[in-house]
Structure 1
Amino acid sequence: MTAATIPDLGYQVKFQSVPIEGGDDLQIRSLLDRQQFFDPDGAAQAQGISAATWPLFGMLWPSAQRLAGAMQQRNDLADKRILEIGCGLGLASLVAHRRLADITASDCHPLAETFLRANLLLNALPVMKYLTGQWTTANAGLGEFDLIIGSDVLYERSHPQQLSDFIERHSADVVEIVIVDPNRGHRSRFTQHMQALGFDYRMTNLDSALPASEPYRGRMLHFTRQRSLLSA
């Protein structure tokens, strides 16, 4: 891992090789630490992002590595339209994109796309589809997806309702949702909202060490639905 100060950025970054279970490492540029903050034009504040939460998008999170590993191990990505929500550094999107999947990354942070573009270059990958936006904002142009994925996206009280409503708007007739959750307190409410929308649900325990010196505690939430069955 190497740290660097890039002139005129206003924040410090670091570069590291990130292991992906079952695949090649990703070369990732991330924020140096959680002390970084740079919002000179108030773009992040306008999205409701405080100084305390500003750097979170640019940190390497274990749940994101777990989701990236899950995308590496799947063999059915080629025939799906995929959306990663709250992508942050976009590890899972980078893995799916590297495997030639039709993936769109999305986040509300105004710098997420900048970091995604930098990491695409570091891994010699072509341009990827990206969308900046909030779950609460309607976006008819976004369309519907066969697979919606995310990691550590249930950390505020309002998220279960907002996320389930967003998923409902952007789900194809046959859809799968995969969320990696590090045992946040709002998981049960999110699951209840999803089941109320007609989704079948199962959960996989991910408790382990990632890597051996860094214990991980979390769950992978799987939701599936077929509208034809609901209307039958």
Structure 2
Amino acid sequence: MSVARAPHDASPPAPEYRGPTTVSTFEFAGRSIRLARPVEPDRLLDDPAVHAWNRTDDYMPYWAYLWPGAGMLAEAVVSRWAADDPRDEVLELGCGLGLGGLAAMALGFRVSFSDYDPAAFGFIRRSVAENGFPAERATTLLLDWREPPDARYPRIIAADVLYEKKLVPLVAGVLARMLAPGGEALLTTPYRASAEAFPQAAAAVGLVSESEPAWTLDEAGERRPGTIYRVLRRPGVTPGSIAASR
């Protein structure tokens, strides 16, 4: 598995997690996914390097946690894309531990796991191996949503990336830049007030979004309500063309 570094990325890497690890197994629509993960992700919060990065760029090591939206995304991917052509490549935004991307790999898709912090990628490599997926069908990409690269993907997925209001237009902008014409994106989020602004932000950059209620069980077994956003790129519409029409 290769790691592609965005040429604009000048952020200092956060320290690697050095605590105990485990492998958890999850079931989605009859498919088992094995996920390598930190046992004590909170220990990263005490690291001086994390504090320094937080001061310069509001960084937090969110990648080390398994958020409720990740299970919702994996379920959506497996249930919605099972019959689709697996030759397409999938980009996972803000992948963290990569549960959604692993679900796509279980269907045979090639997946590019992207995150702002490369510390997540070691766990993803381990998860790919734990599941017996071909290593050559997974790549990793350092991605700053403020400066997305010039690349297009027919499918994009993301879980729980709308947790702050300021992130909503960034996510919409990345989708507008990186979703190929005619492409489809799936975003999932547990209920958050900030996410309610996403449909308007998506429309502002020429994307069509559909939403539907969903739910997932968190790791404590509690039912968590949320939303699935299905996002489509209208043919012939780009962020530049939207700006020019204003």
Conservation of the 8 A alpha-carbon contact between 2:17 and 2:38 = no
Q: Secondary structure at the match of 1:164?
A: helix
Counterpart check, 1:134 vs 2:144: yes
Residue 8 of structure 2 corresponds to none
Residue 171 of structure 1 corresponds to 179
* Residue pairs, 1:12-51, within 5 angstroms: 12-37=19-44, 45=53, 48=57, 50=59
TM-score (norm 1): 0.82
Conservation of the 8 A alpha-carbon contact between 1:84 and 1:149 = yes
1:182-201: CA deviations, max 9, x gaps? 11222122210111223222
* Residue pairs, 1:131-170, within 5 angstroms: 131-140=141-150, 143-170=151-178
Percent sequence identity over matched residues?
Answer: 25
The CA RMSD measured in Å over matched residues stands at 2.7
Q: Secondary structure at the match of 1:113?
A: helix
Counterpart check, 1:96 vs 2:96: no
Quickly say closer, same or farther: Cα 1:36–1:134, change in 2 above 3 A.
Answer: same
Shift of 1:13: 3.2
Q: In the comparison of the two structures, how many residue pairs are matched?
A: 218
In the alignment, structure 1 segments of 5+ residues that lack a partner are 1-8
TM-score (norm 2): 0.78
In the alignment, structure 2 segments of 5+ residues that lack a partner are 1-15, 242-246
* Residue pairs, 1:1-232, within 5 angstroms: 11-37=18-44, 45=53, 48=57, 50=59, 53-54=60-61, 56-73=62-79, 74=81, 75-127=83-135, 128-140=138-150, 143-207=151-215, 209=217, 213-228=221-236
More helix by share: 2
Task: Tell me which of the two structures has the higher relative contact order, counting C-alpha pairs closer than 8 angstroms and 6 or more residues apart.
Answer: 2
